[in-house]
Structure 1
Amino acid sequence: MPDPESTDSVDAIVDAWKRERPDLDFAPLQVLSRVWRLSRHLDRARRTSFGTSELDSWEFDVLSALRRAGTPYQLSPKALLEETLVSSGTMTNRIDRLVSRGLVERRTSPNDGRGILVTMTADGLARVDRAIDELVISETQLLSGLSKPDQERLAGLLRKLSRDFG
């Protein structure tokens, strides 16, 4: 049993389940219920960070993929699909919406006149840079209760777990 000073609401939930269903091993809930709760805090923090740049989470996903591609901040729609893990229909809709907001442009590929490249505009670049600045500050605060070695251990464990999901 954990020290009462170091328990949280997940401990109380798991203890209640153990009492009601002693036939089950609730070890997965000890980990994944905390991951789930943390993901909700992270989602709120990210929405706030992106909101300072007037971006939705999905807009940040697309713009950050373009930003990480480096100058001239352009990718094919197929490459964006691979980076953001959405369907082609969803990506087409997202590109259309980003074009209408002036955050990206569609350009003909110089290598293939039929191909299209999605290119970030100066406004898109300014917004994604502002958003990543805010995100790093916010996520640093979220992890402030962990030492650097603890953060590295946690990152390693989560990396190991996430590899199973592809």
Structure 2
Amino acid sequence: MNSAAKWLACKESLCRDKTMAENQSALDTQQALVTSEDGLDIILGQWQAQGVTEDLVPMAVLGRIARLTKYMENAIALCHGEFGLGQGEFDVLATLRRSGEPYMLSPSQLYQSMMLSSGAMTSRLDRLENKGLIAREHSKEDRRAVHVSLTAEGKALIDAALPKHIQCQSALLAGVPSAEREILQQILKTWLAHFER
């Protein structure tokens, strides 16, 4: 084997070793994250120390979801705040926007879609109307019926805010390895279907 071939073989070996080392490092990091304690581990350990023998997996799952929800709500609120939108206001605009032209729904369609009470929805609509982002008008066919629609300003704002919202959601999932996201999505879909079927 000439010197050039030896050099190339050595280089390939070094690259292979480097790749293996990098892969092992990534696995070690992931394993450390999985095995490291979080706040729920401490709580569960305290209950076990007090003699609780029941299955604590449900407490662990629901407790972690509750804690994750707080982190997500805070991050999303900051994201929406950049566009002057308060809690839930983005959701109203987004629901109208994804309904397609003419971007108009009834209040009942809105609060059913968003799982809100009619009172909570009315409050959000009041705020958005005061900002000039939506308009409410009576139906020409039935004066008792009210339709909610996006204004031009409302459509422009939600179109500007949506990419940032998606980026924020992606950042919140940064701690979940890409290969496991679809698995997580399917687990959550199955669980949610249990309540919504």
Residue 39 in structure 1 maps to residue 69 in structure 2: yes
Q: Which residue number in structure 2 is paired with residue 125 of structure 1? A: 155
The one-letter code of the counterpart of 1:104 is I
CA distance in 2, matches of 1:156, 1:89: 33
- Residue 94 of structure 1 deviates from its aligned partner by 2.3
Instruction: Name the CA distance, whole Å, in 2 between partners of 1:130 and 1:42.
Output: 21
2:116 to 76, 86, 89: 86
- The TM-score, its normalising length taken from structure 1, stands at 0.88
Alignment partner, residue 83 of structure 2: 53
TM-score normalised over the length of structure 2: 0.75
Q: Which has the higher contact order (CA 8 A, sep 6+)?
A: 1
Q: Structure 2: any 5+ residue segments left out of the alignment?
A: 1-30
Match of 2:166 in 1: 136
Give the secondary structure class of the aligned counterpart of 1:54.
Answer: coil
Moved more, 125-134 or 68-77: 125-134
Deviation at 1:157, TM superposition (A): 0.9
The residue number in structure 2 matching 1:107 is 137
- Partner residue in 1 for 2:58: 28
Q: Which amino acid aligns with 2:98?
A: R
Partner of residue 65, structure 1: 95
Q: How far apart, in 1, do the equivalents of 2:168 and 2:139 lie?
A: 37
Q: Which one has a bigger Cα radius of gyration?
A: 2
Q: Point out where structure 1 has 5 or more consecutive residues left out of the alignment.
A: none
Partner of 2:4: none
When structure 1 is superposed on structure 2, of 148-157 and 126-135 the one drifting more is: 126-135
Shift of 1:4: 6.6
Counterpart residue identity of residue 85, structure 1: M
- The answer as to 2:189 corresponding to 1:159 is yes
Aligned residue-pair number: 163
What is the match of residue 150 of structure 1?
Answer: 180
Amino acid at match of 1:139: Q
**Structure 1 counterpart SS, 2:52:** coil
Q: CA deviation at 1:93?
A: 2.8
